[in-house]
Amino acid sequence: MELPQAVTDVLDSTLDYIYGLEEFVAPTVVLVPSFVKGYVEQLSEAIGFDVETLSYTLGLFLCYPLGIIMANLPYGKIRHVFSFLLGAFLIQFTIGVQWIHQLITSLVVYAICLVLPPKMAKTVVPIFVMVYMCAAHLHRQYTNYLGYDMDFSGTQMVITQKLYMFAYNLHDGHELKNGRGDRAAKKCSKFALKELPGLIEFLGYTFCFSNVLAGPAAEFTTYSTACDGSLLYNADGKPKGKIPSSVMPTLTAFLQSLFHMGLFVFLGGMYPILDPTDPQKNTPAVISESLLSQPWVNRYVYLWISLFALRQKYYFAWKNAEGALNIWYAGFEGFDDDGKAIGWGNSVNINIFPFETASNIQTLSKEWNKRTSLWLTRYVYIRTGGSLMAVYGMSAFWHGFYPGYYLFFLSIPLLTMCERMGRKKISPYFSDKAWGPYDIVCKLVTSFFVEYTVSTFPLLSYSWTMTLWKSHFFFGHIGAILFYIAMMFAPSPKKKDKKE
């Protein structure tokens, strides 16, 4: 859909003005020496990677030596300074002058929290960061429709979560301190902040080098306790328990990230979703004439493998960030009341095997992008009285405005309704044993329908999505509707009919 010429003229004039400010912002990119950029460009030509992808990948791997340095720094403000400066370095290294958006957003939110009372800030901040996020997505779609070129919107998605949570943390802390905390504030009390932290601590959090590029977005208290030492030590300096080594949690995540990067390169090259020669303009590979001429089974198997290959890219980035956080204990969950180590769940953003073998959509949602799921649960779902509409809406706006996203979000509730109906009418007759016959069938059916539905995400375009779904005879939607209708008329099992 083309915009009216008058609207286009206004947008173009506005963007020209904003782009004109680059000459004033460019001098702020001081953390990346020019010779480093030259080396990256030479390496890019040598190995055949585009500069943006190579810079981003190198930035992720740089988090490991930086994490080693962080782990050996004294606890306190120096860690926050290091986190801020090296996080800023990584953003300047990957997206250059666009790093300024991260700084602007952080400083504006800090000013809001400094000036407004927490009760107002917890409303104003989420609105501000989401409007900024939406503007970033709209800018990307207007200037580079269907393009996957790297810009600031990726890092903006991470900081949006951080700042959104931060405002609620301050509000919860203020309310609990004054004995007015509601049910939601009490459920999130472990993340509540009694007072606004210093600016350096705040910037260290928003720019934290270990998760600034790919997430996961951590709570402020998770970050700060790893910086001030209170995660591991009591006020008297004694360990809270036997401090576990960070070597294996770091090494395991790092090796996993390498494995998934290799799998992405190998499978993604063999089974691309988009046209590798020009993914932005050419017809995607999954709806190319050559593939559409093949039998349906071949086309669906290709789609399944290509989506599996695409997920490896996210597994690589998230596992890489997991190791980078674990290396300086930012992923460590601390100790229980008996002094036993809890685990390393604070850095985990994906549980790959449970996700890939999920037998229901609830498990899929829980295991995929776990920190985002927690953000939506803690600061949207329970703050709106359990509104799934608010959760889906927030998630959709946070992702962007491509039609493919909304086709997915509008389709998932249909599958969820079918799943709930099946659990009510069919599941009672069968054993719920993990990896039993019924569980295996559920896993296969879930994968079969969800892969069809989620295919809209990488395609982005409405026309491309409709072409793909049409080539698969809209089986996901038709099958779900027929199943739901059939279950409406199916009798509910009586107690004596249920499995023992």
Q: Among 421, 272, 321, which Cα is nearest to 87's?
A: 321
What pLDDT, on the 0 to 100 scale, is given for residue 1? 58
What pLDDT, on the 0 to 100 scale, is given for residue 495? 66
Residue 235 lies in a domain: no
What pLDDT, on the 0 to 100 scale, is given for residue 500? 45
Q: Which residue has the higher pLDDT, 329 or 36?
A: 329
Token couple for 80: 């926050």
* Domain's final residue, options 176, 196, 228: 228
Say if residue 206 is in the same domain as residue 290: no
Residue 241 lies in a domain: no
- Count of structural domains within the chain: 2
pLDDT in tens, 323-356: 999 999 999 999 998 899 999 999 999 999 999 9
Residue 41 lies in a domain: yes
Say if residue 215 is in the same domain as residue 301: no
Give the torsion through C-alpha atoms of 340, 372, 102, 399, to 10 deg.
Answer: 170
Residue 233 lies in a domain: no
Q: Phi first, then psi: what are they for 335, rounded to 5°? A: -120, 150
496: number of Cβ within 10 Å: 5
Write down the pTM of the prediction.
0.93
State the average pLDDT over residues 386-403. Answer: 89
309: number of Cβ within 10 Å: 20
What pLDDT, on the 0 to 100 scale, is given for residue 386? 86
pLDDT in tens, 219-238: 999 999 999 999 999 989 89
Whether the per-residue pLDDT at 499 is higher than 70: the answer is no
* Domain's final residue, options 200, 228, 256: 228
Residue 217 lies in a domain: yes
Residue 470: pLDDT band by 50, 70, 90 thresholds?
Answer: very high
Say if residue 71 is in the same domain as residue 196: yes
Residue 155: pLDDT band by 50, 70, 90 thresholds?
Answer: very high
Say if residue 205 is in the same domain as residue 251: no
Say if residue 274 is in the same domain as residue 197: no
* Domain's final residue, options 173, 196, 228: 228
116 within 8 A of 124, measured Cβ to Cβ: yes
Type of residue at 226: A
Average pLDDT along the chain: 92
What is the spatial distance between Cα 150 and Cα 94, in angstroms, rounded to a whole number? 8
Say if residue 342 is in the same domain as residue 267: yes
Whether the per-residue pLDDT at 68 is higher than 60: the answer is yes
Residue 79 lies in a domain: yes
When mean pLDDT is compared across 1-5, 370-374, 457-461, the lowest value belongs to 1-5
Residue 493 lies in a domain: yes
Say if residue 19 is in the same domain as residue 89: yes
What is the spatial distance between Cα 45 and Cα 176, in angstroms, rounded to a whole number? 57
Say if residue 256 is in the same domain as residue 370: yes
Cβ neighbors of 177 (< 8 A, separation 6 or more) are: 194
Whether the per-residue pLDDT at 19 is higher than 70: the answer is yes
38-42, 388-392, 434-438: range with highest mean pLDDT: 434-438
Residue 268: pLDDT band by 50, 70, 90 thresholds?
Answer: very high
289: number of Cβ within 10 Å: 7
Residue 392: pLDDT band by 50, 70, 90 thresholds?
Answer: confident
Say if residue 353 is in the same domain as residue 476: yes
Say if residue 166 is in the same domain as residue 314: no
Residue 69: pLDDT band by 50, 70, 90 thresholds?
Answer: very high
pLDDT in tens, 77-87: 999 999 999 99
pLDDT in tens, 235-256: 898 999 999 999 999 999 999 9
Say if residue 428 is in the same domain as residue 466: yes
Range of the domain at 62: 5-228
What is the spatial distance between Cα 39 and Cα 43, in angstroms, rounded to a whole number? 6
pLDDT in tens, 269-324: 999 999 999 999 999 999 999 999 999 999 999 999 999 999 999 999 999 999 99
State the average pLDDT over residues 97-117. Answer: 96
What is the spatial distance between Cα 174 and Cα 317, in angstroms, rounded to a whole number? 36
Residue 234 lies in a domain: no
Residue 181: pLDDT band by 50, 70, 90 thresholds?
Answer: confident
The DSSP-derived string for 398-441 is HH---HHHHHHHHHHHHHHHHHHHHHHHTGGGS---TTSHHHHH
Say if residue 254 is in the same domain as residue 128: no
